[in-house]
Amino acid sequence: MSIKATPGKDKLPFDLVPTSMKGVYSFVPPPKNVDLTTASRRTLIKHGVLMRRPDPEREPSLFALWRRFVGEIWKEENFVTPVFGTPGVITHNVKGLRQTDSGLVSANWSGCAVTGNWVGAMGVWEVPTVSKPTTPPGPDGQWQSSSWVGLDGGGGIIPGTSTTDVLQAGIAQNVDANGQPTYFPWYEWFVPNYEAVKAEFPYVLPIPIAFQVSPRDQISVVVQYVQQMGDNIGNPMPPAGPYHFGGVLLVNVSTGKAVNLYLPPPTGASFAGDSAEWIMECTDGPEGGTLPKFTVLTFQNAGACNVLDAPPASEKGVNLQNGVLIDFVDAYNNDETNENADVGGVWINYQG
């Protein structure tokens, strides 16, 4: 069953389709015979392409990216109605964050956060290759990690933040006791009261997405607060709220596979947007653990946008060298990572 929508009040100019997760919807993909690279604005909107066509002469790099999406990725055979796995038992919120003389350290996060009043965040990265480290495994005998982009979650410990819910999506990179790695995409909207609401909103725990990713695949993630289902996920100049849904767009650029999701907010979600994050996380449970050894994680085209991407505040969203860098300190009090940031980029290195 899809939602047949027509222009007008409380209607959408394209169709949405329910996923296997109650309340979560995705786009209906365009049919194979539609050439979106030359389509009219009305046709583009009908098939869920809400971002304007960039000018190829004045905006050549943006046009090249747009053309790649509508010409190669935004196709029936690539854009899948997502199938989800069983929710994970590990929540991707910050743990053990504290201020030291050298900066912020965490018991599970490493990377960069930028504070402000954000509506969306994005990043593009190459899935790092993971392998068995020399450090002991986590409580379950594995080394677990995730690379992701998120909104909120500073929890009042990062200066300028107050919220602890996190809208996020990314890639899990785990290594088992035999040194065998596994990789899979996931999304989550964590809230502090997740135990009380997980029956109604299963995605307060990480939900695996059933398509393949491999090390060195290029991944693009956008997370954004939107007014209604069908709003553009990835709008570089998002409108003002009130917001009623969380949007997730996760694309494996290397394979062309993509999913986009509209999530009803779980009870306890705030839509505050007071931080955006680009993170490599140790996900070995509440007792802590150690990361697998990983190749350098580089977030590119990384940034956060506010309402209408208005300056000067919006400039803070891409000047990540002025953001907050977070070190991961493992369960044995070893500093396992170091981080750097620049305009539109975050680099996380393993030093275990």
**What are the tens digits of pLDDT across the range 159-177?**
888 888 999 999 999 999 9
What's the pLDDT at 90? 82
Q: How many CB atoms lie within 10 A of CB 19?
A: 17
Angstrom distances, CA of residue 277 to CA of 44, 75, 158, 176, 296:
31, 30, 11, 27, 17
Prediction pTM value: 0.85
* HEC assignment per residue over 94-161: CCCCEEECCEEEECCEEEEEEECCCCEEEEEEECCCEECCCCCCCCCCCEEEEEEEEECCCCCCCCCC
Side-chain half-sphere exposure of 80, counting CA atoms within 13 A:
16
Helix, strand and coil percent figures for the chain, each rounded to 5: 10, 35, 55
Q: Which residues of the chain fall short of a pLDDT of 70?
A: 1-15, 27-33, 41-42, 45-52, 59, 61-62, 65-66, 68-69, 71-81, 285-288
50 neighbors 74 (Cβ within 8 angstroms):
no
What's the pLDDT at 13? 46
Helix (H, G, I), strand (E, B) or coil at 328: strand
pLDDT in tens, 25-58: 876 666 666 777 777 766 776 665 656 677 788 7
* HEC assignment per residue over 228-240: CCCCCCCCCCCCC
Nearest to 158 by CA among 222, 212, 106: 106
DSSP 8-state symbol, 50: -
Which residues lie closer than 8 Å to 38 by C-beta, 6 or more apart? none
What's the pLDDT at 8? 34
What's the pLDDT at 4? 39
Please name the amino acid found at residue 304: A
Please name the amino acid found at residue 5: A
**Domains of the chain by range and CATH?**
16-73 (no CATH), 98-350 (2.60.120.700)
Rounded Cα–Cα distance for residues 232 and 48 (Å): 8
Nearest to 97 by CA among 30, 45, 156: 156
